[in-house]
Structures are given as C-alpha cells and as structure tokens.
C-alpha cells in the first residue's frame, strides 16, 4: 500500500529477542523517525537546568548549577567558553528501530549546541562522509569514531563471522567496509556523558565532573531518549552510572579477557542492555572486537 504524507505507519522490530512497535510519520516520500520531539524535550531540559536560555547555549562553567564543584581549584586558562557549552546528541534517522545509544566520555576540544551534527554529519568534512569515502578521520578523536562504528555494527548484529574474519552484512571485512561504517550512524544516537571540555591534555574531564554531570544531566537525558541498548565508550562512565543507579542495575558480567562488561539496567520502567568498553584512546586492540561479539552472543 502506498503511503501518503502525514500518514502514520507502524512496524514491529525484533531487538534482542523483544518485539518493539515503531511508529513513524510518512512525510515527503520518506519515513522519518521523530527526532525533532527528542531534540525539543532535550532543549527544555537544558533550559530548566540553566544550560540554555532563549534557545541559545550558555557557557557551562558560568551557568551550570554544578560549576563550583566541577571547576574548583582549576586555573582560568583551562576554560574555553566555546568548548564548554551543552551539545545536543546526534540522532540517526533510523534510531527508533535500534534504540542504540553510543556514549563517549566528553568532547575533545569542542562544544556547542550543534557540535555533534557538525562533526558527524554527512558533509565534506563530517565523520559519515569521510568514512563513506574510505578516508581517515583526523580530528576530534579519529579512532573513537571508527571504533564506535565497528562496535555498533557488532551490537546490532550486523555482522558475519567467517574463517576467523569479522565481516559486515555486505560480506566485506567489517573494519574496512565503508558502507557499513558510515551507514551505522543512521541507526544510533551519539552523545557524551560529561558536557564540559577542559582546555587540558585530551580535554580530560576533572574527576568531579563525572560525579556531577552523569547523575544531574546525563541520566536526565536518557529519560528523554529512552534507549533500549547503551554502549559506554569509557569504563569510568560505567562505574559512575552503576553507582548512581545501583538499585536499578543488575550484576555485571565481564568478558573472558575482562576488558569489557555488560549488564541490564531497569530504567524508566524498561530493561536496558548496557555494554561498557575501554575508551579507544586508553586501550586499542582489534582483539576487543571478538570480546564484544562474545558478550553480545551470550546476552
């Protein structure tokens, strides 16, 4: 049956053995998930938390209610106003099908409301465009973007294992498949757990930022986003999240090599699968692919 603009369409998708009902609005010949509603709700949250005003992002170390704890004792030259503003998550057009949210630690020398769309978007110097063309992403954490794409394909089971090789659904080696790596960003939300980006080596967040930002902002964002699966690209984020939600988190299961873990979390009345992996800048080995496959297979 041919759909018409404005028509509501529903489909069932099987994710991790659970059937989910996805509802779309057909518009101008394309099926579009309602990312706009998520963005609008997040903007309202940021406004309530004094991170935005009149639809403009504000400098976090001047306006966030946690600013005194997070920046206490750190010099003025570690502050960059443009890099310390709230950033909306990047929402892939097919996110509603997968429900996978990939979470970095914090921005690397960047920030601002549309920063993720500027970095990831399918444009000349965006991550999607560069991966699609087979190039190397050489800014804002190049290895992070490649590993995020590989891990997301594995978690969403868009892979095949053959003769000790990990292949994409296109029968190409996954880590070299331009279509699989670039296309997976359509299926995910990408965001950071910590919102500030100090002007220090690798923009490493100060310790207090984890314990302030994750419970006060990140968890509230997740309530709006309603993930089905979460990939944490930092085990430190996982440690803080588990502590903040300790009454809702099941026992952690580690991979055989103990570099990765997975657990279930009761969140917003739903069960969410969580995978925690090392940040690519901390530990980089292709052996992690097999570890993650093992965790996914036995989930």
CA distance linking residue 299 with residue 293, whole number of Å = 10
Same domain, 162 and 217: yes
Instruction: State whether residue 136 is helix, strand or coil.
Output: coil
Same domain, 6 and 40: no
Centre a 10 Å sphere on the Cβ of residue 157 and count the other Cβ atoms it contains.
13
Same domain, 94 and 27: no
- Full domain range(s) for residue 17: 1-32
CA distances (Å), origin 100, targets 138, 189, 199, 232, 282? 25, 6, 30, 11, 23
Number of domains in the chain: 2
Residue 276 sits at φ, ψ, to 5 deg, of -115, 125
Same domain, 16 and 108: no
Q: What is the pLDDT of residues 253-278, one digit of tens each?
A: 999 888 999 999 999 889 999 999 99
Q: How many residues does the chain have?
A: 299
Same domain, 1 and 116: no
Q: What is the mean pLDDT of the chain?
A: 86
Same domain, 145 and 252: yes
Asked if 114 and 51 touch (Cβ cutoff 8 Å), the reply is no
DSSP 278: -
Same domain, 232 and 91: yes
Q: What is the pLDDT of residues 51-110, one digit of tens each?
A: 999 999 999 999 999 999 999 999 888 999 989 999 999 999 999 999 999 999 999 889
Asked if 222 and 101 touch (Cβ cutoff 8 Å), the reply is yes
Same domain, 22 and 131: no
CATH number, domain of 275, equals 3.40.470
Same domain, 138 and 5: no
Same domain, 180 and 194: yes
Q: Please report, in angstroms and rounded to a whole number, the separation of the first and last CA atoms in the chain.
A: 37
Instruction: State whether residue 161 is helix, strand or coil.
Output: strand
CA distances (Å), origin 243, targets 157, 224, 238, 260, 280? 29, 21, 8, 18, 23
- Phi-psi domain of 129 (left: phi exceeds 0; alpha: psi -120 through 50; beta: other): alpha
Same domain, 230 and 211: yes
What is the reported pTM? 0.86
Asked if 188 and 95 touch (Cβ cutoff 8 Å), the reply is yes
CA distance linking residue 135 with residue 217, whole number of Å = 34
Name the stretches of the chain with pLDDT < 50.
1-33
Same domain, 19 and 88: no
């Amino acid at each position: 049956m041919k759909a018409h603009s404005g028509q509501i369409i529903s489909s069932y998708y099987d994710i991790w053995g659970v059937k989910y009902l996805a509802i779309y609005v057909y518009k101008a010949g394309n099926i579009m998930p309602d990312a706009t509603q998520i963005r609008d709700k997040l903007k309202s949250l940021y406004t309530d938390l004094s991170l935005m005003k009149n639809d403009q992002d504000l400098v976090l170390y001047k306006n966030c209610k946690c600013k005194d704890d997070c920046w206490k004792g750190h010099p003025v030259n570690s502050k960059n106003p443009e890099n310390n503003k709230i950033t909306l998550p990047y929402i892939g057009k097919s996110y509603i099908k997968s429900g996978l949210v990939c979470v970095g630690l914090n921005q690397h020398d960047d920030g601002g409301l549309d920063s993720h769309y500027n970095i990831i978007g399918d444009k000349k110097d965006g991550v999607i465009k560069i991966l699609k063309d087979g190039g190397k992403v050489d800014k804002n954490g190049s290895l992070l973007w490649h590993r995020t794409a590989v891990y997301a394909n594995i978690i969403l089971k868009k892979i095949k294992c053959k003769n000790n090789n990990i292949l994409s659904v296109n029968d190409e080696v996954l880590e070299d498949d331009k279509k699989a790596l670039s296309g997976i960003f359509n299926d995910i939300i990408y965001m950071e757990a910590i919102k500030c980006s100090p002007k220090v080596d690798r923009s490493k967040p100060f310790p207090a930022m984890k314990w302030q930002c994750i419970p006060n902002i990140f968890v509230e964002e997740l309530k709006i986003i309603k993930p089905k699966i979460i990939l944490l690209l930092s085990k430190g984020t996982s440690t803080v999240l588990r502590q903040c939600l300790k009454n809702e988190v099941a026992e952690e299961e580690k991979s055989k090599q103990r570099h990765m873990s997975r657990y279930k979390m009761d969140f917003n009345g739903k069960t969410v699968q969580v995978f925690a992996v090392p940040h690519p800048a901390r530990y980089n080995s292709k052996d992690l692919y097999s570890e993650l496959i093992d965790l996914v297979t036995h989930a």
